[in-house]
Amino acid sequence: MNAVRRMGIAVSATALISVAALGGVANATPGVGVAGTVLWQRTIGGKDYVYREITVQPGGSTGWHHHDGTLYALVARGTLTHSAAKGCATDGVYAAGSVFTEPSGADNVHIGRNLGSTPVVLDVLYVDPAGAPLSQDEPNPGCDFE
């Protein structure tokens, strides 16, 4: 086996070990029963503007997460229960026609849940730094609901 091939195998093995060692990602709480469709997206002045429709099925949740930018939402259908990691408290129950904002930053971890019997449909505008993900999964902060 030549030196270049051995080096490639070593780099690949190191990459796999590094990914496996990042076990903290496994503690994230991704959404359950959630689907989203991007309706339009624009980048202007270093910011991404993304308009998205999100549906949360009954019993579903967004999972714990935060945003790098600000999110503006309209509840088009259903009722969303919104809870903050700080204090593990419900900080809003939003029925159809309600609007709410989610501030940016890793210190604003939250979860949205559909505790009702009909799907929740949200119309959401994300205003993020250009290239940022729409959200970043976070581990459960120790709250006994999810």
- In order along its 146 residues, the chain shows pLDDT tens digits of 554 444 343 333 333 333 333 333 446 788 999 999 999 999 999 999 999 999 999 999 999 999 999 999 999 999 999 999 998 999 999 999 999 999 999 999 999 999 999 999 999 999 999 999 999 999 999 998 75
How many Å apart are CA 128 and CA 48, to the nearest integer?
Answer: 5
How many Å apart are CA 146 and CA 130, to the nearest integer?
Answer: 30
How many Å apart are CA 140 and CA 144, to the nearest integer?
Answer: 9
